[in-house]
Amino acid sequence: MLGFQLTSAHAPVAHKAAPAGAVPNGVHKRTKVRSKSKKRDKDRAVKFIAETQDAMIQTGPTYKLPGAEKYIKSRMDLPIYQARVKLLLEISKAPTVIVVGETGSGKTTQLSQYIRDAGMDKGKMIACTQPRRVAAVSVANRVALETGCKIGSKVGYTVRFDDTTSRDTALKYMTDGMLLREAISDPKLSRYSVILLDEAHERTLMTDILFGVIKGVQKLRPELKVIIMSATLDAAKFSTYFDDCPVLYVQGRQYPVEILYTIEPQQDYVDSVFVTVLQIHQDEKPGDILVFLTGQEDIENVGALLQDASEKLDPKFGKLVVRPIFAALPPEQQMKVFEPVPKGSRKVVLATNIAETSITINGIRYVVDTGLVKAKTFNPNLSVESLMAQPVSQAQARQRTGRAGREAPGVCYRLFSEDLFRTLDSTTTPEIVRCNLASAVLNMKAMGVDDIIHFDFLDKPTTESLRAALMLIFSLGALDASGKLTTLGRRMARFPIEPQLAKTLISAERLGCVEEILTIVSMLSAPSIFFIPFNKREEVDLSVMKEFASLYGDHLTYLNVYKAYRQNKGNKTWCKDHFINMKSMKTVLDTRGQLAELCRKSNIEIRSSSDTDNIRKALVSGFFYNIAVLQDDGTYHPVSNRTEVALHPQSVLKGQKPKYVLYHELVKTKRYYLRVATVIEPEWAAEAAPTYFARTIT
């Protein structure tokens, strides 16, 4: 059992207190708007307020379409509603503003609608970027409901491999990565009059690059409105970066949240979560529970345990309804977290850090925080990027805690000790300084940013990681000796996939195996193809994998899985018997379709080859950096560095131990593992990668 200790704090979440100098209507203004002509501003403001008040105060937001009325009340109840006129006024005056408001205040769903309703979109599109796909999809769906339209008409979303926008779309929710891709073909982003960069506090790689790109676009198009939205108060840095632009604070509501720490550190957080949730369910007042876990695997494990326990519970406690949410979950299932559960039962939302700020679920009174998050770290010297569970920052822990106090006082159960909390970093490190930049650098080059090292970054990545990225794309043949994008590089940048995968796909044309590589690339881009319940690992390893296993390794095994899946027409029972994750396979089909379409547009001929040598050669052309050689002591050494690594326990090659293997990625868990490996011939590497050593360029 867990022992919980009340902190001395017992405190409401202190950082939520409203900043001083509140002005009416819920907006706090901290930075003065710098204006050239006060008089002109004032006149404009008076006129603007009059118009806006006409449009919005008297009639409320415009609810023209049937179906939208039922959301009027909940929209008007949001904290941001009180602030709308002032917000619009400030936005009308300055080219860039920063809007800070705590999660759930209505920034993402409302502000873009206010802007459109006030006619500030001037007939062009409004874009609102999200770091996460799930958030873009769920928010767009919500806004479509509130507007009374079908998703894909007035309101749409664009995420990688899934675009629901149409000619009618006026309001577009999209991932930050997709807007960056659009900047490649349209460097002035001329389809947009307003761009909202949301969740700026998360400081994802793509959002960080967008800051610089959009700042550049504004120089060319001063009329472009940019709104930076953030859930944390430290907006000064953004303001300085955007020429001291105004920062507007939306006053939120926050009830006190009691924080409980565990007395002892926890050994097994899956078990701790399980116990804590049951404790809450049996002992605490009604109210839903939100649990922060690290990823799909944990979520499924905890979900299965809780489901099982719920069925055995004494009926007097009511049912526990488990609702997962993570990036790989299909949209219709994601939407289920927002649905109310039957009276008498209690909802448990099992989430990744997606629920930290990017989505808000009503009804949450209890938060269970494992204190962990899956985050990327990149070692440019070893060229290793790993996605690993690691401790959150104090800022993240506070943000998670706050989720329990949106509608009423709540409780947050931290599954770690108070001493540990004190050792956490105070804020989260921006992704740009801790991840692999190859893809980002290729995109920037394709946008015409020639001098990457001197790009106007909000936080500059280390020179080593920029160099490592430039070196990699240069070796792939995407850059010439002067650092300019080559024809090959331009073709590679058209594909929204890692540069190595794009190179593989393009090389496959010459080798006549684009069909096969399309499949392999799509399988690699999808989350966990196998859904293996944690108590069945051994059984699956022994039996099922054999059916698909290829002597050549995991890439070709993936190809076999896909072929078998197609032969069985994606049959549900077949998938279940073979532990195939149907959801992931659906994603594979979508991805494959879209990549094939891009191949056609790029005039890449899609042919099929049964020659496994060709398929493996194509892989080598993209992944020659990722070759490892077997050592006498039975370990492997990657050729690009001298780390000791091993084949992943789930690799079909692990019993075979071939001399030379190509791997998709190095992952670090307890040690370094080569994940998804294939046997290769060493001379293919020399043939494929003349630029790895010499400066010969296409």
87 binds, among ligand CDP, Mg ion, none (CB under 5 to 8 A by kind): none
What is d(CA 312, CA 222) in angstroms, rounded to the nearest whole number? 63
Within a 10 A sphere around the Cβ of 83, how many other Cβ atoms?
Answer: 28
What is d(CA 390, CA 374) in angstroms, rounded to the nearest whole number? 6
For position 230 contacting Mg ion by CB under 5 A, the verdict is no
For position 614 contacting Mg ion by CB under 5 A, the verdict is no
Nearest CA-CA partner of 275 in 1, 50, 646, 654: 1
For position 399 contacting Mg ion by CB under 5 A, the verdict is no
Report, in Å, the least distance between residue 135 CB and Mg ion.
7
Specify the 3-state DSSP secondary structure of 583: helix
578 binds, among ligand CDP, Mg ion, none (CB under 5 to 8 A by kind): none
As to burial, measured by CB atoms within 10 angstroms (0-12 exposed, 13-18 middle, 19+ buried), residue 448 is: exposed
Taking the least distance from each CB to ligand CDP, the nearer of 142 and 281 is 142
Report, in Å, the least distance between residue 354 CB and ligand CDP.
12
Q: Which residues contact 646 (CB under 8 A, 6 or more apart)?
A: 635, 636, 671, 672, 673, 674
What is d(CA 161, CA 293) in angstroms, rounded to the nearest whole number? 26
338 binds, among Mg ion, ligand CDP, none (CB under 5 to 8 A by kind): ligand CDP
To the nearest 10°, report the CA torsion of 22, 27, 30, 36. Answer: -130
Q: In what order do the strands lie in the sheet with 257-262?
A: 4-6, 257-262, 410-414, 364-369, 288-292, 346-351, 320-325
Give DSSP secondary structure letters for 246-314: -EEEE------EEEEEESS--S-HHHHHHHHHHHHHHHS-S-EEEEE-SSHHHHHHHHHHHHHHHHHS-
Tokens of residue 419, six digits: 């001493």
362 binds, among Mg ion, ligand CDP, none (CB under 5 to 8 A by kind): ligand CDP
Report, in Å, the least distance between residue 227 CB and ligand CDP.
12
Nearest CA-CA partner of 228 in 184, 191, 189, 176: 176
Report, in Å, the least distance between residue 111 CB and ligand CDP.
8
Taking the least distance from each CB to Mg ion, the nearer of 105 and 581 is 105
354 binds, among Mg ion, ligand CDP, none (CB under 5 to 8 A by kind): none
Tokens of residue 316, six digits: 């007097």
Which span sits near Mg ion by CB under 5 A: 104-112, 262-270, 481-489, 549-557?
104-112
How is residue 653 annotated by DSSP?
A: T
Interface size with Mg ion, residues (CB under 5 A): 2
Residue nearest to Mg ion (CB): 108
Report, in Å, the least distance between residue 255 CB and ligand CDP.
14
138 binds, among Mg ion, ligand CDP, none (CB under 5 to 8 A by kind): ligand CDP
Taking the least distance from each CB to ligand CDP, the nearer of 364 and 627 is 364
Report, in Å, the least distance between residue 66 CB and ligand CDP.
20
Taking the least distance from each CB to ligand CDP, the nearer of 325 and 446 is 325
Taking the least distance from each CB to Mg ion, the nearer of 174 and 615 is 174
Taking the least distance from each CB to ligand CDP, the nearer of 76 and 549 is 76
Taking the least distance from each CB to ligand CDP, the nearer of 78 and 667 is 78
104 binds, among Mg ion, ligand CDP, none (CB under 5 to 8 A by kind): ligand CDP
Among 92, 96, 105, 108, binds Mg ion (CB under 5 A): 108
Tokens of residue 37, six digits: 């002509």
For position 175 contacting Mg ion by CB under 5 A, the verdict is no
What is d(CA 44, CA 38) in angstroms, rounded to the nearest whole number? 10
For position 110 contacting Mg ion by CB under 5 A, the verdict is no
Report, in Å, the least distance between residue 198 CB and Mg ion.
6
Which span sits near Mg ion by CB under 5 A: 103-111, 155-163, 531-539, 559-567?
103-111
Cross-strand bridge partners of residue 70: none
- Map the footprint of Mg ion across residues 296-355, applying CB under 5 A: none
What is d(CA 554, CA 188) in angstroms, rounded to the nearest whole number? 42
101 binds, among ligand CDP, Mg ion, none (CB under 5 to 8 A by kind): ligand CDP
Q: Is the dihedral of CA 113, 115, 118, 120 positive or negative?
A: negative
Report, in Å, the least distance between residue 282 CB and ligand CDP.
27
381 binds, among Mg ion, ligand CDP, none (CB under 5 to 8 A by kind): none
Q: In what order do the strands lie in the sheet with 646-647?
A: 636-638, 627-630, 660-668, 672-679, 646-647
What is d(CA 599, CA 519) in angstroms, rounded to the nearest whole number? 13
Q: Is the dihedral of CA 283, 289, 292, 294 positive or negative?
A: positive
Tell me which H or E stretch contains 352.
Answer: none
Taking the least distance from each CB to ligand CDP, the nearer of 333 and 487 is 333
272 binds, among ligand CDP, Mg ion, none (CB under 5 to 8 A by kind): none
What is d(CA 286, CA 563) in angstroms, rounded to the nearest whole number? 49
Taking the least distance from each CB to ligand CDP, the nearer of 362 and 463 is 362
Half-sphere exposure of 227 (CA within 13 A, CB side): 32
Taking the least distance from each CB to ligand CDP, the nearer of 290 and 359 is 359
360 binds, among ligand CDP, Mg ion, none (CB under 5 to 8 A by kind): ligand CDP
For position 113 contacting Mg ion by CB under 5 A, the verdict is no
For position 138 contacting Mg ion by CB under 5 A, the verdict is no
Nearest CA-CA partner of 234 in 221, 220, 249, 223: 249
106 binds, among ligand CDP, Mg ion, none (CB under 5 to 8 A by kind): ligand CDP
Within a 10 A sphere around the Cβ of 264, how many other Cβ atoms?
Answer: 11
Report, in Å, the least distance between residue 556 CB and ligand CDP.
41
For position 232 contacting Mg ion by CB under 5 A, the verdict is no
Taking the least distance from each CB to Mg ion, the nearer of 233 and 313 is 233
For position 112 contacting Mg ion by CB under 5 A, the verdict is no
Taking the least distance from each CB to Mg ion, the nearer of 108 and 232 is 108
The interaxial angle of helices 176-185 and 438-446, nearest 10 deg, is 30
Report, in Å, the least distance between residue 138 CB and ligand CDP.
4
Tokens 């299965």, located at residue: 304
Residues that bind ligand CDP (CB under 6 A): 78, 101, 103-110, 138-139, 142, 338, 359-360, 362
Taking the least distance from each CB to Mg ion, the nearer of 100 and 662 is 100
Specify the 3-state DSSP secondary structure of 227: strand
Report, in Å, the least distance between residue 367 CB and ligand CDP.
15
Taking the least distance from each CB to ligand CDP, the nearer of 106 and 177 is 106
Report, in Å, the least distance between residue 594 CB and ligand CDP.
25
Taking the least distance from each CB to Mg ion, the nearer of 108 and 614 is 108
Report, in Å, the least distance between residue 358 CB and ligand CDP.
8
139 binds, among Mg ion, ligand CDP, none (CB under 5 to 8 A by kind): ligand CDP
Q: Which residues contact 74 (CB under 8 A, 6 or more apart)?
A: none
Tokens of residue 478, six digits: 């995407």
Q: Which residues contact 219 (CB under 8 A, 6 or more apart)?
A: none
Report, in Å, the least distance between residue 154 CB and ligand CDP.
17
Please give the residue ranges that form the binding site for Mg ion (CB under 5 A): 107-108
